[in-house]
């Protein structure tokens, strides 16, 4: 009881401190802005009101931010996603600072410290760029800073979610994350069933495809079909987890079918490969007839729907015109043909060959974070995250990149093997691990590292997976029933 009173007292003191600081800021700001621009006074008061609300309703505010992120990419032209990320960073830092000032503990785990160290290390490439220590000069510093801030935002998401531990039921929090599907799937349904002329301008997919520019690919609200694909795959994994947690499975089977349908609608071949690896990694440790049939059925439905579309048939046929499946075609010929055959895989080979030649000019430290498009002759990302890491960070950079990927897998394996975690927590870790094993394969031909929304939710799930409060809710579904 004493500890409870102390916690309530600390929370009250924190709220009072925030309100006091807000009052000071309002007083100073209003006096200054009134003489500069009266319209800015309203904006400042609104911002402070949001800040106070964030601290007064912390749990609800964080959950709302997590749900909101999946709907913001159509507003990228107005820099809304970037402003959102910076806002989350500032709110997290302010919240943690005030907790420290009031003597309250900050909840972190061992992996967060490793994550923080890795993000801090990436700042080395930002510092070296203007100092002339990399392959490009300081004029590209803005691109490097943007990329580092993007990575830092994932760390802050992890940190702010950790502060929900002991305050929010982990199962309930994951269930609430499914609300982030509503807007993207609604947009995807509109893109699927409505002609583009009837779509709102923000939902029109203007992504050109080298094979079939006239064939529509859905992207929901995620900006690019490939980005939408990894986002959907992540929630296919979470839906699988929910199916193993509840006896009321019809709704979740229906959602799984909807997600599989929209996954095919992205018309991304790499995501089909990732789905196959995810299914294999998930069922292999506990292979049973039921798991095998379920996994094969899901994959058969997805690959069948994909092969039935004209675009899917073109994609599958195009592989036979690459060195991958055509023994009569070598890499040199594929590179030469890439200029005229419209084959995206051959285009990738040509792009990678050119970038590897450029990498030789700065092999150890590369050209700097976020600079690979400036090194490429196409001015695009390499469509290979390993080559991107090599170009931007050199041998040392790609080494840290692979170590970080391996650290995530190691963390999940340690959690799965731990005897102290609950059954539902272990099952979540198994799902995340299966996706973790699919990611490195998808990164061979896609810019998955640029899928910011995916890693926003990835950081959220990695934080929740490590909570030590799962045993309090094990055996209880999101509705609170046994």
User: Which residues of 147-229 form beta strands (DSSP E)?
Assistant: none
Residue 163: predicted pLDDT: 97
How far apart (Å, rounded) are the C-alpha atoms in residues 165 and 461?
12
In angstroms, rounded to a whole number, what is the distance separating the alpha carbons of residues 112 and 216? 40
Give the number of other Cβ atoms within 10 Å of residue 49's Cβ. 12
> Which residue blocks in 284-343 are alpha helix, DSSP H?
289-308, 310-319, 331-337
Output the pLDDT for position 21: 56
Q: Supply the mean pLDDT for the chain.
A: 85
Q: Is residue 122 a contact partner of residue 148, using CB atoms and an 8 Å limit?
A: yes
Q: What is the per-residue pLDDT for 47?
A: 65
Q: Which helix (DSSP H) or strand (DSSP E) does residue 138 occupy?
A: none
What is the chain's length? 482
The per-residue pLDDT for 262 is 95
Residue 276 burial (10 A CB sphere; 0-12, 13-18, 19+): middle
- pLDDT tens for 349-371 read 999 999 999 999 999 999 999 99
82, two tokens = 């970037």
Q: Return the minimum-mean-pLDDT range out of 47-51, 327-331, 424-428.
A: 47-51
Inter-residue contact 230 to 271 (CB < 8 Å): yes
Q: How far apart are CA 397 and CA 11, in angstroms?
A: 42
Q: Specify the pTM.
A: 0.87
Where does 347-404 show beta strands of DSSP type E?
Answer: none
| Residue owning tokens 């609604």 | 186
For residue 308, pLDDT beyond 90 = no
pLDDT digits (tens, 9 = 90+) for 204-253: 876 544 444 435 789 999 989 999 999 999 999 999 999 988 888 899 99
Q: Which residues contact 450 (CB under 8 A, 6 or more apart)?
A: 227, 381
How many Cα atoms occupy the beta-carbon half-sphere of 224 within 13 Å? 14
Cα–Cα distance measured from residue 70 to residue 82, given in angstroms and rounded to the nearest whole number: 13
The secondary structure of residue 425, as a DSSP letter, is: H
- CA–CA separation, 291 vs 129, rounded Å? 51
347, 339 contact by CB (below 8 A): no
pLDDT at 37 over 80: no
Q: Is the dihedral of CA 111, 114, 120, 122 positive or negative?
A: negative
């Amino acid at each position: 009881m004493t500890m409870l009173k102390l916690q309530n007292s600390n929370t009250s003191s924190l709220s009072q401190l925030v309100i006091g600081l807000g009052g000071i800021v309002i007083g100073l700001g209003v006096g200054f802005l009134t003489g500069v621009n009266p319209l800015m006074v309203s904006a400042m008061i609104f911002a402070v009101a949001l800040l106070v609300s964030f601290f007064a309703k912390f749990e609800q505010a964080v959950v709302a931010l997590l749900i909101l992120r999946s709907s913001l990419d159509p507003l990228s032209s107005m820099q809304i996603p970037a402003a959102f990320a910076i806002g989350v960073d500032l709110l997290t830092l302010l919240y943690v600072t005030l907790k420290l000032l009031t003597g309250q503990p900050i909840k972190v785990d061992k992996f967060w410290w490793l994550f923080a160290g890795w993000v801090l290390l990436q700042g080395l490439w930002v510092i070296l760029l203007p100092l002339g220590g990399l392959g490009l000069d300081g004029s590209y510093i803005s691109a490097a800073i943007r990329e580092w801030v993007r990575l830092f935002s994932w760390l802050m998401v992890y940190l702010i979610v950790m502060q929900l531990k002991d305050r929010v039921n982990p199962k309930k929090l994951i269930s609430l994350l499914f609300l982030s599907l509503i807007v993207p799937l609604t947009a995807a349904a509109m893109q699927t069933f409505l002609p583009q002329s009837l779509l709102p301008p923000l939902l029109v997919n203007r992504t050109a495809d080298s094979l079939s520019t006239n064939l529509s690919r859905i992207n929901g609200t995620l900006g690019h079909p490939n980005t939408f694909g990894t986002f959907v795959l992540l929630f296919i994994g979470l839906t699988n987890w929910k199916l193993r947690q509840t006896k009321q499975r019809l709704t979740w089977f229906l959602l799984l079918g909807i997600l599989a349908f929209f996954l095919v609608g992205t018309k991304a071949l790499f995501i089909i490969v990732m789905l196959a690896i995810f299914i294999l990694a998930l069922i292999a440790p506990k292979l049973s007839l039921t798991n095998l049939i379920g996994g094969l059925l899901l994959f058969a439905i997805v690959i069948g729907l994909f092969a039935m579309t004209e675009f899917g048939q073109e994609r599958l046929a195009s592989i036979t015109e690459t060195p991958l499946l055509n023994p009569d075609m070598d890499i040199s010929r594929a590179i030469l043909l890439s200029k005229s055959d419209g084959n995206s895989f051959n285009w990738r080979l040509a792009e990678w060959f050119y970038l590897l030649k450029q990498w030789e000019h700065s092999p150890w430290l590369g050209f700097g974070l976020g600079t690979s498009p400036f090194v490429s002759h196409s001015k695009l990302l390499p469509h290979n995250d390993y080559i991107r890491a090599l170009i931007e960070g050199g041998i040392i950079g790609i080494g840290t990149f692979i170590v970080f990927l391996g650290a995530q897998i190691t963390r999940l394996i340690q959690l799965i093997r731990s005897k102290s975690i609950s059954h539902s927590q272990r099952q979540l870790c198994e799902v995340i691990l299966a996706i973790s094993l699919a990611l490195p394969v998808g990164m061979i031909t896609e810019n998955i590292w640029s899928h910011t929304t995916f890693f926003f939710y990835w950081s959220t799930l990695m934080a929740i997976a490590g909570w030590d409060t799962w045993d309090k809710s094990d055996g209880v579904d999101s509705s609170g029933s046994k």
